[in-house]
Structure 1
Amino acid sequence: MSRTRNKSETTELIAVHGGACAKYDASLAEDCRFACGTGSVESALTDLERIEKFNCGFGSHLTIDQEVECEASYMSSRNMSFGAVGAISNVFHPSRVARHIAENPWWKQRRLLHPLILVGRGAEKYAQKNDFPICSPEELISNAAKDSYEKYLHKMLHPYDTHDTVGAVSINTNTMEAESGTSSGGIVLKHSGRLGHSCVYGSGTWSERRQYVEPFEEFSERTISICSTGHGESLVKADFCREIAKRVLDDEEGILYSEIIREFLREKMEPGARFGAIALIADKFKERMSLEFLIFHNCRYLPAAVRGRDNQIRVFESKFDPDSCTDDKFLIESFRM
């Protein structure tokens, strides 16, 4: 695969992460760098879905029945649109299908209820009807996934000591609109039919823009775009991405965003639950804008990359030792963009 991208003049800030990892692998961060150059959340996730090192698309973990069941989600701050697919086994790029569900006007035009999530055969039929590339389930099974299946089946190691859900977030600095998305093969040896946090509204991803009234009839804006990875059931219980976004957007006291997230993690995350996330936050008042990128997790390694306003891509190889004697059993890193 070529690693060359033409530089874009877009105002789109984009960040990509490669999923919570148990082991360090520098190549994962470089793949995130490559995906950041694609220009959109959808195209970034599509890139990662082609690379078997990542737990999404081709390379997804196998279920206990040695099958592939992918899931993906997409959200936009425009009209708070959301779409997700789960337990889908015959589509090369489930992230593209999720975005299509979120933005397809078919139901509205017919005065029907617009679904948020399609699963299993229904999701597969939808993908085929809308001309997405279809494959046999076997075409999504990589050699690495087979090896991982055998390893964990025979040794019965902890199922979360592998790669996890990947994600991407973006904010347009002109419109202050945001997009976010995830793609995942789920946990290794998961039960067939299990849906992870990617499919749950508010847990795997969240993008929201809010406007505030200032003195003298002035207005300010704040946008957050966030996506998560890790132990899906715990992320669902915590309403992870939506609750963090709400706390950030509700803040009127100028509290550091890292401290807002720290308080949430202390209050809401179950002991022992593995999690990770990246977030972009933009604040705008008149011509002034501040941009912040945050990466936070309690896994050993979370590879990520960000393309900023200067069109330069920065790679982040965020590492954490779960056995370290810190007050918080997690890491939060914050960077001004």
Structure 2
Amino acid sequence: MEDLQTMKTCLCIIGSGPAGQTAAIYAARAELKPILFEGGMANDISPGGQFTAAICIENFPGFPEGITGRELVDRCRNQSLRFGTQIFTETVTKVNFSSRPFKVFTDLRTVIADAVVVATGAIVKQLSFPGSNSFWKRGMSACAVCDGAASIFRNKPLAVIGGGDSAMDEAIYLTKYGSKVYIIHRRDTFKASKIMQNRALSNPKIEVLWSSVVVEAYGEGERGVLGGLKVKNVVTGEVSDLQVSGLFIAIGRDPTTKFLGGQLELDSDGYIVTKPGSTHTSVRGIFAAGEVQDKKYRQGITAAGTGCMAALDAEHYLQEIGSQEGKSD
């Protein structure tokens, strides 16, 4: 096992999705020589985050033919390396933001940093039933905006699981592409706001399956894509067949913030609170980018944008405190 090391840097970046890598690109080009922790299967997700699971991303500018999530993240990683980012495939286990300089810990090293960018994203809340893993990204998704326009969903019946505002929003969005959209909800009332409920319930293409849960997903022929669902009514116990080509899980996300140990201000859902129009957190010198602080847009391109903002905010902060550039060793 490698000996524990202590390293110093102007800027440490935690996270390796579009937000973290964009922050690294900007910081490295500013000659801050950032250290980035990309995670070693943190939360059972490979370095690069959930983006890496996307089979084809068609809405990231610059790739008219589409690109896989893995390739896009790899390109971003190579770009940040090219400009001098030091990347470690390690998971941050804890931090100390109570004194300066800040400390970031993994099982192998401690990094002492004048500024930190937290870009650890959020984890989709999953449901487990037969077929739930087999058809993930093969008809099953957690983002209608990301995947809803794909050809496999166009003019096909689709389903959304959930009862909150996100589920209503996803269902309404999917009516632009699907022939019909079912909302499957385990209770007999929604928890969504009244205005969102009314929008969904008044849409002629949406049908609600109340008091229902998905108990199985099955495929269509030999194509290896989703063909339909077995849906159980929790009141009657009856199991029915629902033929759909898409299933969108909209039961929420968990931001990856537990490792922070309550040292940054979080909102009621656990997302890092940033000051409006910036990436500044409740601790001066700590910045947050990507979905760990954004529960509204949740797109790769918006994550990249906030990664850029975080790097620029961090650079300005480091100039203010007179941090020495090129300090990493």
TM-score, normalising length from structure 2? 0.25
TM-score, normalising length from structure 1? 0.25
Question: 1 or 2, which has the higher strand percentage?
Answer: 1
Structure with greater Cα Rg: 2
